[in-house]
A and B are shown apart, each in its own frame.
Chain A
Amino acid sequence: MVAGAAAKRKAGRTLALLTALALAGGVAGAQDAPSLNFYGLPGLIDMPSGQSAPDGQLSTTIAHFGALSRITLSFQFSPRLSGSFRYARFADWNFGGFETYYDRSFDVRYRVLDEGRYLPAVTIGLQDFVGTGLSSAEYIVATKTFADRLRVTAGLGWGRLGSYGALGTPFGERSGDGPDTGGTPNFGDWFRGPAAPFAGVEWAVNDRWTVKAEYSSDAYEIEDDARGIIDRDSPFNFGVEYRLGARSRVGVYYLYGSTIGVAAQLALNPKEPGTPYRVLPAPPPVFGRDSAAAASWAEARAGADPQRRGDPRRIATSLEGTGIVIEALRVEPSRAVVHVRNRSQDAEPVVLGRTARALANHLPPGVETFVIVPVWNGRPLSAVTLRRSDIEALVNAPDGGAAILARAQMTDAAALAPAPEDRIADAYPRHAWSIAPAFDYSLFDPGAPLMFGIGLRAAGTWEPTPGVVLRGSVTQRLYHNFDKTDRTSNSVLPHVRSDAIEYQREGDTVVDELTASYYFRPGRDLYGRITAGYLERMFAGVSAELLWKPVQSRLALGAEANFVQQRDFDGGFGLRDYRVATGHLSAYYALPGGYHAAVHAGRYLAGDWGATLEVNREFANGWRIGAFATLTDVSFEEFGEGSFDKGIHIEIPLATLLGSPNRNVSTINVRPVTRDGGARLNVNGRLYEEVRDYHRPSLAAEWGTFWK
């Protein structure tokens, strides 16, 4: 993990982290979280229920019975809407060239009716709606709770869930057709074909133990009749589950009259961190110009500080241990402007609150207005103006948090570059370095579903002068098993991403990144970046970006143009022949409630033209979970398996695990298939995510930390 000076580094990438997190569980309040089924959805054993997981819950479910194993990641995106990604293993498949078959699938569920006094909760679900269709099913299901302990579920299923005991075919036949490459929504088949009922009961014996019984409408036709990997002798399933901590359960089941199954349900909720957030050292009290110590102010006015300049060293001392560094300070008779850099606080209002306290305690009494200018890569991101009287009056007020937010002015800071004489002498050059373990993985290869490498990574940044950032990172690998597969890309497009395994196999000593960047403010509400060098593992070249983002705005627009050439597999300085001009116009919008949407339209690495839609839910503590999809002018056939690029995106800020400030973020992008169509360049230090941190919508979301 790289401790970054300039950016929230998107560092470690590991599913293990997520699993461990889930094991860690959460706090109280999870008692009414419904149990999950073998598909990782709220449900019984193999059948779904009508309930939803608590808003924001992220769960991992691992289930195994007979020759089948499923691992499912589910996220409750809103109180009603949830999504799941599943990886299923069918052992002893012996068909179509697969000895063991692995299947990836996505589900969505929407709760249409809330449980009431008399009414049940009702959910409509689409299972495996963009996969190969092997597990495809649709259902409508209702669940009612009685006396807090008994839950009764009944539903109607189509597709796989309509394959046993069907009542009829209400909406016409199911074609089962889709593109050969899979991966597209099978709209035409939804709720088509035979429909069959399913039902079950769940009884919570006590807070720990739950027993379940269900009648399944899944005939397991392919698995039983065609492949013979499951003996399905009965529609009845039974199970016992035990709760381990607030959000995790393990269970043992007897399925389909023939097979013992086991499952583990691990869940967490970013809204309920297990560790309270605290910022140490504790903040100094605000002494105030009218406090008991005020007698001494006269002295200071009389002569100690004739120019009435605040002493930056005292302010810096006051901020010691917080990672907040003063880059410039200008003290006028009634106003002070301070430029601050944030090295460690992931909650940006802490930067403002701590700086305001330090200024209030150390500036001459005549200074009434504080202008705090957060700086990133040497450039101001916004100007937050606070009245000193408000700081003094509200620090102890019961509603001081909301009140100071209402009085804070946030404005553009393009014109607020510090004068040379106001700069702190040792503010530049700056440097940072780190040496840390590095982890690299490859998922979902049919022959070797998990391959990984571990090594050591040395990284450093150097900022000789404001706006100029030199960045480098080298990884020495110590172990890997990427040679477990000998598959090579069969892509008909330029191999811009599908040769990933070649890069992983050959990358023993790798220059991850070696770049020079220049950041600038071309005008009001505008931000610019130019980066040149070895931009990422697979490409080198030049990248230029321009962003428009007013401080108060929820909307931002961006443009990026890149001229890049593909790098050699071995991670050295050599280049391959492939060159491309790639770039996008982007629109970003922060929706209320922490939902973020972005559209990037333009030319991708393989030269294809199209657009990417990203939708994420972001919690103010930095957790971010969402999905992305890209459609380009590459046809589904040319794209190959999966038909188009899509996946899920998870960011986990380490601060929420540690309960103390930390700007490192672990990012996980899971794609069912990585191909060459719709692939974007990865360049470090893109503008939007950093710039918006100090703008009003983001600051307001985390404002509960201002006085921390």
Chain B
Amino acid sequence: MNRPAGLLVLVALTLAGCSGGDAGVSPSIPGLGRLTGGAAAPATVEVEVPLPGAAVAVAPAPRMLATVEQTRITAPLRLAVDRGGYQTWIADDRTTITLRGGVVTATRGLAHDLLAADAEAAAQAIRAGRAGSYSRSYRYTSGVRGIETRSYSCTLARTGAETVTVQGRQVAATRFSETCTGPDGGFRNDYWIGRDGRLTKSRQFLDPQGGYLTLQHAGG
């Protein structure tokens, strides 16, 4: 993945110059947001509101903390939409993470995005708090822009009781580990379920290059 600096210099030279009018967005890489490294994003960014004047309830918004392990950057996310069993959480830099029953199904705006994943079987087993075996598929935008599907056989098993830190609080939790193997390799996801039976923390695989995402779930 590490391209020599020479290439960057070359690209910079090729793109040097300036343009205006209708000449498209700047070809330089836009400011990277908090979740993806780089400068801190502005404290607030207006989340798109569906309709003119649509008043989204101003209740104390639940908050989730997400950490991209690769960059060690942590950012808070707010719930943007909860629909059809999927919750889409949004960060200040508009990065989104979509969950189904706490299991990551998609990301947008990260350096290595997950296009879509099926989470129903995993979410059911986690919700029930019991071991299980099932198959899962992860989809990515391939290097040539098609859809690349990677299939895994997964087993979920209880792997111990631990106290974890979630959004500054110590929470007693039971850890469930989901071990997945497939033709493209394998990974392990960890889910910590609190005494109330709700998912409180998780560490989930995104992509061999993108690594793992740690989530401190809301209301955990």
Asked if A290 is an interface residue, CB under 8 A from chain B, the answer is yes
A515 within 8 Å of B by Cβ?
A: no
Contact for B15 among A400, A654, A702, CB less than 8 A: A654
B:90-106 near A, CB below 8 Å: 90, 93-96, 98, 100, 105-106
The answer to the question of B160 belonging to the interface, with a C-beta cut-off of 8 Å to chain A, is: no
Interface string of B53-92 (1 = CB under 8 A from A): 1111100000000000000000000001111101010100
| Cβ–Cβ < 8 Å partners of A400 in chain B | 116
Q: Which of B6, B27, B84, B143 contacts A272 (CB 8 A)?
A: B143
A297 at the interface (CB under 8 A from B): yes
How many A-B residue pairs lie within 8 Å, measured between CB atoms?
257
A406 at the interface (CB under 8 A from B): no
Please report which residues of chain B, range 1-32, place their CB below 8 angstroms from some CB of chain A when the two chains form the complex.
1, 3-4, 6-7, 10-11, 13-25, 27, 29-30
Q: Which of B44-52, B163-171, B197-205 lies at the interface with chain A?
A: B44-52
A432 touches B23 (CB 8 A): yes
Q: Which residues of A contact B37 (CB under 8 A)?
A: none
Q: Indicate whether B124 reaches chain A with its CB closer than 8 angstroms.
A: no
B162 at the interface (CB under 8 A from A): no
Of residues 7 through 56 on chain A, the ones whose CB sits less than 8 Å from some CB of chain B are 12, 16-17, 20-21, 23-25, 27
Given A278-B113, A300-B54, do A3 and B81 touch, yes or no (CB 8 Å)? no
Which residues of A444-464 have CB atoms within 8 Å of chain B's CB atoms? 460-461
Q: Decide: A3 near B146, CB < 8 A? Known: A20-B7, A704-B141.
A: no
A27, A282, A435: the one within 8 Å of B18 (CB): A435
Chain A 265-281 residues near chain B, CB threshold 8 A: 270-278, 280-281
Residues of chain A with a CB closer than 8 A to B22's CB = 5, 325, 343, 430-432, 461
Contact B146 A707 (CB under 8 A): no
Bound-state CA distance A654–B106 (Å) is: 27
Q: In the complex the two chains form, is B116's CB within 8 Å of A397's CB?
A: yes
> Are A287's CB and B17's CB within 8 A?
no
* Chain A residues, CB < 8 A from B148: 704
B52 x A282 contact (CB < 8 A): no
Judge whether B14 and A1 touch: CB under 8 Å: yes
From B14, B18, B116, A12 is in contact (CB under 8 Å) with B14
**A-B residue pairs in contact (CB < 8 Å), sample of 19:** A1-B14, A1-B17, A2-B19, A20-B6, A25-B3, A271-B144, A278-B109, A285-B88, A292-B56, A361-B50, A392-B83, A396-B100, A396-B116, A398-B116, A401-B147, A432-B21, A432-B22, A435-B18, A654-B27
Give the interface of A toward B (CB within 8 A). Answer: 1-5, 12, 16-17, 20-21, 23-25, 27, 270-278, 280-288, 290-293, 296-297, 299-300, 304-305, 311, 314, 318, 321-323, 325, 343-344, 347, 361-362, 392-393, 396-402, 430-437, 460-461, 594, 619-621, 654, 657-664, 666, 701-705, 707-708
Give the 4 A-B CB pairs with smallest separation, nearest first: A436-B17, A282-B109, A434-B19, A296-B54
Q: Measuring CB to CB, which residues of chain B are less than 8 angstroms from any residue of chain A?
A: 1, 3-4, 6-7, 10-11, 13-25, 27, 29-30, 47-57, 80-84, 86, 88, 90, 93-96, 98, 100, 105-106, 108-113, 115-118, 137, 139-148, 209-210
